[in-house]
Structure 1
Amino acid sequence: MKQNQLLRCISPIDGSVFAERETLSKEAAFTLASRARAAQAIWANRPVQERIDLVLAGVAAVGAMNDEIVQELAHMMGRPIRYGGEFGGFNERANHMAAIAQTALADIAVSEDENFKRYIKRVPHGVVFVVAPWNYPYMTAINTVAPALIAGNTVVLKHATQTLLVGERMARAFHSVGIPEDVFQNVFLSHDVTNDLIADRAFDFVNFTGSVSGGQAMERAAAGTFTGVGTELGGKDPGYVMEDADLDAAVDTLIDAAMFNSGQCCCGIERIYVHESLFDEFVAKAVDIVKGYKLGNPLEPETTLGPMAHTRFANEVRTQVAEAIAGGAVPHIAPFAEDDGGAYLGPQILTNVTHQMRVMRDESFGPVVGIMPVKDDDEAVALMNDSEFGLTASLWSDNLDRAVAVGDRIETGTVFMNRADYLDPGLCWTGCKNTGRGGGLSVIGFHNLTRPKSYHLKKVTS
Structure 2
Amino acid sequence: MKSTNPATDEVIETYDDHTADDVDSILEDAVSASESWAETDITERQQLLENAGEILRDRQDEYAELMSREMGKPIDESYAELEKCAWVCDFYAERAGEFLSDRAIGSEPNAKTFVSYEPLGAVLAVMPWNFPFWQVFRFAAPHLTSGNVGLLKHASNVPGCALAIEEIFREAGYPEGVFSTLLVGSDTIEDVVRDDRLDAVTLTGSEGAGRAIAEQAGSELKKHVLELGGSDPFVVLEDADLDAAAETAATARTINSGQSCIAAKRFIVADEVFDEFLERFVSEMEGLEIGDPLESGTEIGPQAREDLMEGVHEQVEASVEAGASLECGGEPLDRDGWYYPPTVLAEPPMDSPAAEEEVFGPAAAVFRVADEEEAIELANDSHYGLGGSIWTADLDRGERIAREIEAGCVFVNELVKSDPRLPFGGVKASGYGRELAREGIHEFVNRKTIWVQSAGESDDVPQTE
TM-score (structure 1 length as normaliser): 0.94
SS in 2 for 1:104: helix
Structure 1 CA distance for aligned equivalents of residues 237 and 330 of structure 2: 31
Which of residues 213, 216, 219 is equivalent to 1:218?
213
Q: How far is the alpha carbon of 1:325 from its aligned partner?
A: 1.1
Structure 2 counterpart of 1:3 = none
**Alignment of structure 1 residues 187-336 onto 2, 5 Å:** 187-334=182-329
Q: How far is the alpha carbon of 1:273 from its aligned partner?
A: 0.7
Structure 1 counterpart of 2:346 = 351
Distance change (3 Å), C-alpha of 1:336 and 1:315? closer
Structure 1 counterpart of 2:401 = 406
Q: How far is the alpha carbon of 1:142 from its aligned partner?
A: 0.9
Structure 1 CA distance for aligned equivalents of residues 112 and 254 of structure 2: 56
Answer with 332-341 or 142-151: which moved more.
Answer: 332-341
Which of residues 77, 81, 105 is equivalent to 2:100?
105
Q: Does 1:12 align with 2:6?
A: yes
Distance change (3 Å), C-alpha of 1:295 and 1:336? farther
Say if 2:384 and 2:430, in contact at 8 Å, map to a contact too: yes
| Partner amino acid, structure 1, of 2:386 | L
Q: Does 1:55 align with 2:49?
A: yes
SS in 2 for 1:223: helix
Structure 1 CA distance for aligned equivalents of residues 389 and 334 of structure 2: 30
Structure 1 counterpart of 2:375 = 380
Structure 1 counterpart of 2:68 = 74
Structure 2 CA distance for aligned equivalents of residues 331 and 67 of structure 1: 39
| Partner amino acid, structure 2, of 1:361 | E
Structure 2 CA distance for aligned equivalents of residues 359 and 134 of structure 1: 23
Structure 2 CA distance for aligned equivalents of residues 240 and 22 of structure 1: 47
Q: Does 1:182 align with 2:138?
A: no
Structure 2 CA distance for aligned equivalents of residues 20 and 421 of structure 1: 36
Q: How far is the alpha carbon of 1:335 from its aligned partner?
A: 6.0
Q: How far is the alpha carbon of 1:407 from its aligned partner?
A: 1.6
SS in 1 for 2:170: helix
Q: How far is the alpha carbon of 1:25 from its aligned partner?
A: 2.0
SS in 2 for 1:267: coil
SS in 2 for 1:239: strand
SS in 1 for 2:13: strand
Structure 1 counterpart of 2:26 = 32
Structure 2 CA distance for aligned equivalents of residues 127 and 84 of structure 1: 29
Q: How far is the alpha carbon of 1:113 from its aligned partner?
A: 7.0
Structure 2 CA distance for aligned equivalents of residues 66 and 278 of structure 1: 43
Q: How far is the alpha carbon of 1:300 from its aligned partner?
A: 3.0
SS in 1 for 2:105: strand
Structure 2 CA distance for aligned equivalents of residues 212 and 337 of structure 1: 26
Q: How far is the alpha carbon of 1:419 from its aligned partner?
A: 0.6
Answer with 222-231 or 16-25: which moved more.
Answer: 16-25
Structure 2 CA distance for aligned equivalents of residues 400 and 147 of structure 1: 33
SS in 1 for 2:442: helix
Say if 1:128 and 1:203, in contact at 8 Å, map to a contact too: yes
Say if 2:324 and 2:345, in contact at 8 Å, map to a contact too: yes
Structure 2 CA distance for aligned equivalents of residues 367 and 328 of structure 1: 19
1:163-189 C-alpha deviation (Å, 9 max, x unpaired): 111121112121112111211112212
Answer with 138-147 or 20-29: which moved more.
Answer: 20-29
Distance change (3 Å), C-alpha of 1:279 and 1:123? same
Overall identity of the aligned pairs, in % = 31
Q: How far is the alpha carbon of 1:337 from its aligned partner?
A: 8.7
Number of aligned residue pairs: 456
Q: How far is the alpha carbon of 1:53 from its aligned partner?
A: 0.9
Structure 2 CA distance for aligned equivalents of residues 120 and 28 of structure 1: 38
Which of residues 345, 354, 360 is equivalent to 2:355?
360
| Partner amino acid, structure 1, of 2:139 | T
Which of residues 129, 133, 148 is equivalent to 2:124?
129
Which of residues 29, 38, 58 is equivalent to 1:44?
38
Structure 2 CA distance for aligned equivalents of residues 346 and 112 of structure 1: 61
Distance change (3 Å), C-alpha of 1:337 and 1:131? closer
1:211-270 C-alpha deviation (Å, 9 max, x unpaired): 111111212222321111111111101100111111111111111110121100121011
Q: How far is the alpha carbon of 1:191 from its aligned partner?
A: 2.4
SS in 2 for 1:165: helix
Say if 2:250 and 2:281, in contact at 8 Å, map to a contact too: yes
Structure 1 CA distance for aligned equivalents of residues 411 and 196 of structure 2: 38
Structure 1 CA distance for aligned equivalents of residues 400 and 77 of structure 2: 36
Say if 1:36 and 1:154, in contact at 8 Å, map to a contact too: yes
Structure 2 CA distance for aligned equivalents of residues 420 and 220 of structure 1: 33
Answer with 338-347 or 248-257: which moved more.
Answer: 338-347
| Partner amino acid, structure 2, of 1:311 | E
Structure 1 counterpart of 2:462 = none
Q: Does 1:430 align with 2:425?
A: yes
| Partner amino acid, structure 2, of 1:71 | E
Say if 2:130 and 2:259, in contact at 8 Å, map to a contact too: yes
Q: How far is the alpha carbon of 1:30 from its aligned partner?
A: 2.1
Which of residues 130, 152, 155 is equivalent to 1:157?
152
Q: How far is the alpha carbon of 1:69 from its aligned partner?
A: 1.4
| Partner amino acid, structure 1, of 2:381 | D
SS in 1 for 2:33: helix
CA RMSD of aligned residues (A): 1.8
Distance change (3 Å), C-alpha of 1:386 and 1:397? same
Structure 2 CA distance for aligned equivalents of residues 356 and 190 of structure 1: 34
Distance change (3 Å), C-alpha of 1:341 and 1:372? farther
SS in 1 for 2:226: strand
| Partner amino acid, structure 1, of 2:40 | R
Q: How far is the alpha carbon of 1:83 from its aligned partner?
A: 3.4
Structure 2 CA distance for aligned equivalents of residues 126 and 179 of structure 1: 16
| Partner amino acid, structure 2, of 1:32 | I
